[in-house]
Structure 1
Amino acid sequence: MTLHREGKGSIIIAVILFLLINFLTYKFLYPSYPIIFYFLLIVTLVVLGLVISFFRIPNRNYTINPSAVVAPCDGKVVVIEEVQADEYFSDRRIQVSIFMSPLNVHVNRNPVAGEVVYNQYHKGKYLVAWHPKSSTENERHSNVYRVGDKEVLTKQIAGALAKRIVNYLSVGDKVTQAGEMGFIKFGSRVDLLLPLNADIKVKIGDVAVGGITEIAHW
C-alpha cells in the first residue's frame, strides 16, 4: 500500500496537530489528569489514522477488459436507473451511481480505455451525496470517454463533506482502463452514464471496487 500525492498537505497538517495537541495535554493535563491525557491520545491517534487512510492506494490487480466498463471508484452502488442526460448527451442513458463513504479508497479511475472527448467542471451546491438532485446540482466534474463508436460519461460529485474534486484529465488525452482519473477528498459519489443497451452487471447495494468491479459490458 502507498499514499496518494493528494494527501501530502493534509497528512502533514494532521501529524503536526497530533503532536501539538498531545504535547500540550501531556504538559498540562498528564500530571493531574492522566486518564484525560490517555483518552485524548487515543482519540487523536484514531483521527490521524483515519486521515492517513483517506489517501491510501491499495495494491491491486486491475481489470483490463475492452468489453467492460469498470467501477470508477470504491463504494456502494446506490442508483441504477434510466435518466435523461443533462449534459453532453441529448438522449436517455442508464445511470449507475456509486456512493463513497469516508472509509473508502478515494482515488477515482478511468472506467474504460479510450479518448477523453469532454472535460467540464461545474460549480454547485454541497447536498449530501445520496440526495436525488446531487447529480445535477452539486459541484461536479464530468468527463466523456470515447471507445470506438461508444461513449460513457463520468461525474465526480462533491457532497456535504467532500469539498475538493481533483481531475487529472484533458480533452484529447488517451487513457488506460483503471488509470487515475482524479481524486475526491473525503468521499462522495461518482456517476456513470451508459448507453441504454449496456448490460449492467451490478445491482443496488453491491460493493464496487475501483478499477476492478465490472459495472457493465457493452
Structure 2
Amino acid sequence: MRIDRAGWPFLVVPLGPAAVLAALGRVGGPRWARLAAWPFLALSAYMALFFRDPQRRCDVVPPSSDEVLAPADGVVMVAGEPQPGVAPEGDWQQVSVFLSVVDVHVNRAPYRGRISEYSYQPGSFLAAYRKESAHRNERSELWVRDGDRTVVFRQIVGVLARRIVTRVGVGAQVATGERIGLMKFGSRMDVFVPRGCTVTVAQGQRVRGGETVIARWSAPH
C-alpha cells in the first residue's frame, strides 16, 4: 500500500516505544510492557490507514475534458447552490465534500489547467461539517484555468486538522485528478464551478477522489 510521504513520521515514531516495550516483555519483564506496546502499534497502523494513497482511475485513464472530478474521498455536504457568503465573487455552483478521519486524505485537482491564483487564509478550527467552517476555518484556495474554463477549489481544515499541505502553486500545470496535497486529520474540500456546468452529485452521496464525476461542462470546450 502506498503511503503519502507526509505520513511516514507519524507512522514510524510510535514504532519506537512499541519496540522497546515489546522487547522488555520478551526478556522476562513485566507483562504490562507487552500490553502497553499494543496502543503504539495501533496508532502506527491508524497512521498508515490515514495517509494511504490508493491509485484511482484517473491515474490510469485520463478523464474527459468535460469532467470535474471529486477532489477527495468523503460525503457530499453541498451540491448546487452555494452557501451564503462562501463562494468566490462571481456566479458559481458549489460542491463540498466532508472527509472523516477514516477517509483517504490525499487531495486531487478537480479539473485540469494552470494554477492562476493561490491564497492561504489562517483561521479557526471549527468542525468541518459546520457551514461556518467554509469561511472561518484555516484554508487554502486555488484557481485553475484551462482556456475559458475556470474551477476554484479550497482545502479547509477541521476541528482535528492542524495543517494543510499544498504541493502546487501559481503557474503549475495540473491534470484532472492529479495529487496536489493533503490535509491532516479531518477536513473538507469545496469546489466551485460556473453555471455552465451541470452538477452530477447529490447531498449525502459518497464520492471517491479522482474517480467520481461531481460536475460536467454542458458546452463543448
1:2 corresponds to: 2
Deviation at residue 8 of structure 1 after TM alignment: 2.0
Further displaced range: 145-154 or 10-19: 10-19
- Give the distance between the partners of 2:86 and 2:212, measured in 1 at CA: 26
RMSD: 2.2
1:19 deviates by 2.5
Would you say the 8 A contact 1:29–1:37 is kept in 2?
no
2:121 and 2:17 map into 1 onto residues whose CA distance is 33
Q: 1:109 maps to which residue? A: 108
Structure 1: tracts of 5 or more residues without a match: none
Correspondence 1:51 to 2:51: no
Question: Structure 1 residues 131, 29: CA separation in 2 closer, same or farther (over 3 Å shift)?
Answer: farther
After TM superposition, the structure 1 = structure 2 runs for residues 45-194 of structure 1, keeping only pairs within 5 Å, are 45-62=41-58, 64-83=63-82, 86=86, 89-194=88-193
What number of residue pairs does the alignment pair up? 213
Structure 1 range deviating more: 172-181 or 118-127: 172-181
Stretches of structure 2 that go unaligned for 5 or more consecutive residues are: none
- CA shift in 2, pair 1:28/1:157, >3 Å: farther
Q: TM-score, normalised by structure 2?
A: 0.87
| Residue aligning to 1:16 | 16
Give, in whole Å, the separation in 1 of the partners of 2:21 and 2:33.
10
Deviation string, structure 1 residues 35-65 (Cα, Å, up to 9, x no partner): x556544433322211111111113321512
Letter in 2 for 1:55: F
Tell me: CA distance 1:137–1:29, structure 2 relative to 1, closer, same or farther (3 Å): farther
Q: 1:82-135 CA distances to partner (integer Å, 9 max, x unpaired)? A: 235657x42232111111111111110011110111100100000000111101
- CA gap of 1:133–1:44, structure 2 versus 1, over 3 A, is same
The secondary structure found in structure 2 opposite 1:95 is: strand
> What is the identity, as a one-letter code, of the residue corresponding to 1:186?
F
Contact 1:97 1:190 in 2 (8 A): yes
Q: Deviations over 1:152-207 (max 9, x none)?
A: 11110011111010001111111111111111112311000111232111111111
Tell me by how many angstroms 1:23 deviates. 4.7
**Structure 1 146/178 Cα, relative in aligned 2: closer, same or farther at 3 Å?**
same
The answer (yes or no) to whether the contact 1:141–1:156 under 8 Å persists in 2 is yes
In the alignment, the residues of structure 1 paired with residue 203 and residue 44 of structure 2 have an alpha-carbon distance, to the nearest angstrom, of 32
